[in-house]
Amino acid sequence: MKKPLIAPSLLSADFANLQRDVEMINNSKADWFHVDVMDGVFVPNISFGFPVIKAVKKHAKKPLDVHLMIADADNYLQEFKNAGADILTVHYEACTHLHRTIHAIKALGMQAGVAINPHTPVSFLEDIICDVDLVLVMSVNPGFGGQKFIANTFYKVATLNQMISTEKSKAKIEVDGGVDLKNCKRLVEEGADILVAGNTVFGSENPAMTIEQLQNCI
- How many beta carbons lie within 10 A of that of residue 53, not counting itself? 23
pLDDT band at 46 (very low <50, low <70, confident <90, very high): confident
pTM comes to 0.96
Non-local CB neighbours of 1 within 8 Å, separated by 6+ positions: 188, 189, 218
> 12-22 pLDDT, tens per residue?
999 999 999 99
| Residues 92-127: b if buried by 16+ CB within 10 A, e if exposed | bbbbeebeebbebbeeeebbbbbbbbeebebeebee
Which string of DSSP letters, residue by residue, matches 50-61?
Answer: HHHHHHHHHH--
| Strand blocks (E) in 92-201 | 111-116, 134-138, 172-176, 194-197
Alpha-carbon distance values, 121 to 80, 94, 157, 193 (Å): 28, 15, 11, 19
Name the active-site residue from 36, 39, 65, 133.
Answer: 36
180 is catalytic: no
131 is catalytic: no
pLDDT(2) > 90: no
> What three-state secondary structure class fits 181?
coil
User: What average pLDDT score do residues 30-53 get?
Assistant: 93
> 121-142 pLDDT, tens per residue?
999 999 999 999 999 999 999 8
Range of the domain at 24: 5-215
> 112-123 pLDDT, tens per residue?
999 999 999 999
Check: CB of residue 11 under 8 Å from CB of residue 176.
Answer: no
Number of domains within the chain: 1
Check: CB of residue 138 under 8 Å from CB of residue 117.
Answer: yes
> What three-state secondary structure class fits 23?
helix
Separation of alpha carbons 169 and 59, rounded Å:
33
Separation of alpha carbons 116 and 139, rounded Å:
9
Name the active-site residue from 21, 31, 176, 180.
Answer: 176
Angle at 198 between CA 194 and CA 203, to 5 degrees: 135
> 85-103 pLDDT, tens per residue?
999 999 999 999 999 999 9
Check: CB of residue 160 under 8 Å from CB of residue 191.
Answer: yes
Instruction: List the CATH number of the domain containing 176.
Output: 3.20.20.70
Q: Phi and psi at residue 142, in whole multiples of 5°?
A: -65, 150
> 48-82 pLDDT, tens per residue?
899 999 999 999 999 999 999 999 999 999 999 99
> 146-201 pLDDT, tens per residue?
678 999 999 999 999 999 999 999 999 999 999 999 999 999 999 999 999 999 99
